[in-house]
């Protein structure tokens, strides 16, 4: 599966140079936990990027809890970390979590073609004998030039216009209980965007927690029309990203992120929210 790298391959790749490793561990319930974990031990040579401070813009009344970052500022941060357009980049979570795919999506949107997620994250690295360090590297700054891809994400207004369209499928990547509205630990309203179908993002992983291969992902998404426009949402545009990567590997060509997702949707009081199964 492209954009996924094993621990074994990463160990070999480290000997070839021109690579930057990025640690994006994060905890939505404890915003400082990821940075603290990085300082306590990380892959040798890796740098840290924070979901709130680096991979997102400032949250406001609308736009969701994790709006997209300012692209010029984000590109400048990448350059300061030694990431150029030709640098191979490997990003990792604690395990196969949602934050590494968010980082992958941001760089993919900016046109970077050499971004790989470490399968199994730091946990798998340790399990396969990889060492950790507390040393923070000093990387040589460079310049990253954005080459943004078109039609990769949509606004709330676009989502609203396409509800019910036979040419568009809206996916909700959250856990099923949250999709159904049975529980909602983070937001003032529970349920989902009307018309959305539920594909919990962890469904793209095998029972052992590693990524499914392309054939398995095609089976996972077999009920979707490959010719349709697929809009992927979640709570705030983070856990949607594993599904986007998986859909890409399954051969879907017209896949877009709704960055604000449900947290943006419910920030507009007039927007309806559905609960229960869509066919009820």
Element (H, E) at 231: strand 229-233
Residue 265 has φ and ψ, to the nearest 5°, of: -55, -45
Q: Is 241 annotated in the active site? A: no
N-term to C-term CA, the chain: 37
Residues 6+ apart with CB under 8 A from 165: none
Do the Cβ atoms of 171 and 239 come closer than 8 Å?
no
Residues 6+ apart with CB under 8 A from 157: none
- What DSSP state is assigned to residue 251? T
Q: Which has the closest alpha carbon to 245: 228, 260, 232?
A: 232
Residues 6+ apart with CB under 8 A from 158: none
3-state helix, strand, coil in the chain (%, to 5): 30, 15, 55
Strands 4-5 and 197-198, bridge-based pairing? unpaired
Largest Cα span, the chain: 57
Residues 6+ apart with CB under 8 A from 129: none
Q: Looking at 5, 231, 234, 244, which residue is catalytic?
A: 234
Residues 6+ apart with CB under 8 A from 3: 104, 115, 116, 117, 245, 248, 249
Active site residues: 234
């Amino acid at each position: 599966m492209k954009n996924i790298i094993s621990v074994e391959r990463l160990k070999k790749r480290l000997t070839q140079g021109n690579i930057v490793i990025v640690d994006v561990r994060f905890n939505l319930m404890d915003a400082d936990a990821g940075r603290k974990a990085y300082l306590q031990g990380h892959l040798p040579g890796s740098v840290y990027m924070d979901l709130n401070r680096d991979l997102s813009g400032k949250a406001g009344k609308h736009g969701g809890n994790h709006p997209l970052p300012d692209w010029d500022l984000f590109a400048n941060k990448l350059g300061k970390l030694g990431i150029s357009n030709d640098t191979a980049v490997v990003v990792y979570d604690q395990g196969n979590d949602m934050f590494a795919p968010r980082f992958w999506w941001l760089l993919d949107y900016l046109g970077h073609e050499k971004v790989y997620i470490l399968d199994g994250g730091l946990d798998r690295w340790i399990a396969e004998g990889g060492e950790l360090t507390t040393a923070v590297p000093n990387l040589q700054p460079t310049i990253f030039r954005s080459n943004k891809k078109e039609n990769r994400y949509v606004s709330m207004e676009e989502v609203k216009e396409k509800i019910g369209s036979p040419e568009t499928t809206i996916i909700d990547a959250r856990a099923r209980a949250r999709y159904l509205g049975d529980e909602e630990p983070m937001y003032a309203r529970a349920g989902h965007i009307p018309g959305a179908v539920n594909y919990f993002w962890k469904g793209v992983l095998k029972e052992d927690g590693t990524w499914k291969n392309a054939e398995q992902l095609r089976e996972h998404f077999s009920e979707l029309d490959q010719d349709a426009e697929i809009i992927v949402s979640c709570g705030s545009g983070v856990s949607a990203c594993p599904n986007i990567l998986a859909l890409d590997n399954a051969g879907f060509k017209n896949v877009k992120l709704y960055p604000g997702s449900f947290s943006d949707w419910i920030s507009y009081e007039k927007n309806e929210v559905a609960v229960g199964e869509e066919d009820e």
